[in-house]
Amino acid sequence: GAVFMWLMTYVGAVFNGITLLILAELLVFSVPIVYEKYKTQIDHYVGIARDQTKSIVEKIQAKLPGIAKKKAE
């Protein structure tokens, strides 16, 4: 949290609030169009990323069984 806030001070120095609102609005309207156009490729790469994340989490839980038990509860 603190690192994120520290990084945001630099983002704030470059962009003011109105610029960030305009960028957010552009993203909100352009992301669905891009997704519709490249749906199969995006879904493919999201699936790969999800599988890799799942395997990493399983490896970490295998090394630290105490955490796996706490998350299960």
Nearest alpha carbon to residue 57 among 66, 68, 73, 72? 68
Please check whether residue 68 is in contact with residue 61, taking contact to mean a CB–CB distance below 8 angstroms.
Answer: yes
pTM assigned to the model: 0.42
pLDDT for 25 equals 92
CB-CB neighbours of 15 under 10 Å: 13
> 11-35 pLDDT, tens per residue?
777 777 788 789 899 999 988 888 8
